[in-house]
Structure 1
Amino acid sequence: MGYEILIEETRAGLVENVHFGIICGLNEEKEKIYQIGDPEQEVFFRSAAKPIQALPIFLSTIIEKYNLTEEEAALFAASHRGEENHISALKSMLNKLPVEETDLYCPPSYPLNREPREKMIRLGEQKRRLYHNCSGKHMGFVAVCKEMGYPVANYWEPNHPLQQHIAQILSTLSEVPISKIKIGIDGCGVPVFAIPLSSMALTYLKLACPDLIEDSKLRNAVQKLTNTMNHQYNMIASEHFICSVLLQDPNIVAKGGAQGVYCFGLKNERIAFALKVINGSEDVWPNIVASILDQIDYKNKETIQKLRRLKPSLVKNDSGIEVGAIKERFAL
């Protein structure tokens, strides 16, 4: 079996749910210094790839040319939740960039967060492509196509020059040959890449420590991107979500994806982790990441405390009565 128990959820002392998974931690020598399960298992990045998919924008002069704010630029790497600040920035970007909402391939949607979604429904607003949580990424794709002279048509196809460029960037960061990168289709319709979990950790190691990147243009673009993510953490997700909590810590570069995938790099410690919860749960990410940081004796205890508050170890029922516990069952 290529995975192990990461989390047990108990109720009245009985195990009610078990979350299996895999974890890999790399140091700057690319050594697997921490591992749970098989670190060579191939895993789809899902939205954990968004920082990589945003790099063509940061390699260009689009942000400066169209006078985008840092809040707006952060949305190129975001899984935004449709809060007012996200929608306002997205509408501003539409006014600035040579992009039409109809150019976007992501489907019409309502916001992910409950409050803005229900408000729009009450007001009778229709679903829009702009409200899709990947709309910032797609806006970046279209903007790069127009800037580079690529056709906008079919920008979502794996053989489109933009997607080939992104695959090459991923190959450079992960050190996985393009021929070995598996390609699927993500929820929003664009290519999604699968590589070994250890290579995902290496990708995030280079995002956290761009001095490890030989190409100077790519190195500078990564630095600009990750600074933007840290400065505008609530644009990447929103309050009370793990990505925004971790990115508040200027020492961390982090992004999660669907089906239980999470990646983060630590700048000062020069190590990075990738993990996959096999059942696809995102609920236990805070417990797992907090445990990893605890086990490596991470210095910023406030970050760990914020994660613990996101997902407390005590389970309470609807009346606030303690009825169970969430227990971390792995040791690095």
Structure 2
Amino acid sequence: MGFVPLVEEYRGEALENVHYGAISVVDENGKVLYAAGDPHHQTFLRSAAKPFQAIPVLKRRVDELYGLSGKETALFAASHRGETFHIEALESILRKTGIVEENLYCGPAYPLNEAARAERLRAHESKRRIFHNCSGKHSGLIALCKHMGWDEETYYMPDHPLQKEIVATLAAIAEVPESSISLGVDGCGLPIFAIPLDKIAYAYMKLACPDRIEDAETAAAAAKMARLMNEYPDMIADTRFVCSALLKDPNLTAKGGAKGVYGIGLRRERIGISLKVSDGSEQVWPCIIGSILERLGYANQATIDRLYEVVPNEIYNDGGTLVGYRRPVYEWNAK
């Protein structure tokens, strides 16, 4: 599958785990600059697709139509962790749009944030659809269907006009034929797409640098979504997660997805980065992303430091004793 060792984890001085995967770094023309493993590995975007799934919503200015705040609109691209401020914003979206929570196709869940989940359990609350980390995306898509007069009950079907437009949008931005995009079903029930890893990096470069998107309306919608992600980083994940840590840097646009996929665009440098951890681990994202930025000579050390605060390369046991470490081990191949 073109995967190579990316990260080694040691307990004491003995090797305990190896995380394999692939990395692709591209320039503003989509040319692969650096790679580890196969930079063209066909990869499902999972939640890294959310900013692109939101573009049709913002092209129709659905946020303005329903009077949504920037904080609320940011949830269209979020994998929120269900903290109180997320749920309050989601409930506001439902009120403003007239969407009934039960019509969200994502399944009922408890918040992903441990403290938020514990709070709901202590209150003996049941699972809810807006607790699901994808509920912001679903809310935006249903709101678009309401505006367009499209069927709201089948918005998750691959042949729905909404889903067809999403696929066409991603194909145009990533510059891949629609026929080459592999389709699957995401954890929240919506169609999800697999494209080559370098094309994910290219799409994220364009999200950061929307002047590279040919269609003016699509470019404007992408620019707005990316701006909102930076303005409200804690809405995209939570107060302590990789996505929010990266998005606090106004030079970056970034979003991760399930099973170890991640996309990043750098505005000043006009490059895109994507990676896939083959075992699906998210815990090693900071180690990999931090090392990529370091190898690129990234100027904002505070961003790299924030990543290592989320998950340090040092490994501690439950009592706080240092027991091991993780380190990046991939070879950086210039293309």
Quick check: TM above 0.5?
yes
Residues of 2 paired with 1:323 and 1:117: CA distance? 29
Q: CA deviation at 1:82?
A: 0.5
- Per-residue CA deviation, residues 15-69 of structure 1 (Å, 9 max, x unaligned), is 1000001000000122100101111110100000000111111101211121111
Q: CA deviation at 1:153?
A: 2.1
- Per-residue CA deviation, residues 76-107 of structure 1 (Å, 9 max, x unaligned), is 10000000110010011111013111211011
TM-score, normalised relative to structure 2: 0.98
Report the 3-state secondary structure (helix = DSSP H, G, I; strand = E; otherwise coil) of the residue aligned with 1:259: helix
Q: What's 1:213 paired with?
A: 213
Residues of 1 paired with 2:33 and 2:244: CA distance? 27
The 5-angstrom pairing of residues 1-332 of structure 1 reads 2-332=2-332
Task: Give yes or no for contact 2:30–2:199 (8 Å, CA) kept in 1.
Answer: no
Q: CA deviation at 1:308?
A: 1.5
How many residues align? The count is 332
Residues of 2 paired with 1:279 and 1:310: CA distance? 20
Q: Percent identity between the aligned chains? A: 49
Residues of 2 paired with 1:151 and 1:208: CA distance? 32
- Per-residue CA deviation, residues 125-165 of structure 1 (Å, 9 max, x unaligned), is 11111111100111111111111111112111111110000
Residues of 1 paired with 2:296 and 2:28: CA distance? 15
Query: Over the residues paired in the alignment, what is the CA RMSD in angstroms?
Result: 0.9
- Per-residue CA deviation, residues 172-207 of structure 1 (Å, 9 max, x unaligned), is 011111111000000000000001101111111110
Residues of 1 paired with 2:207 and 2:176: CA distance? 16
The AA in structure 1 aligned to 2:171 is: S
TM-score, normalised relative to structure 1: 0.98
Gaps of 5+ in 2: none
The AA in structure 2 aligned to 1:285 is: W
The AA in structure 2 aligned to 1:249 is: D
Moved more, 52-61 or 81-90: 52-61
Residues of 1 paired with 2:153 and 2:3: CA distance? 41
Residues of 2 paired with 1:59 and 1:199: CA distance? 22
Q: CA deviation at 1:314?
A: 1.5
Task: Give yes or no for contact 2:313–2:327 (8 Å, CA) kept in 1.
Answer: yes
Report the 3-state secondary structure (helix = DSSP H, G, I; strand = E; otherwise coil) of the residue aligned with 1:183: strand
Q: CA deviation at 1:239?
A: 1.2
Runs of 4+ in structure 1 off by over 3 angstroms are: none
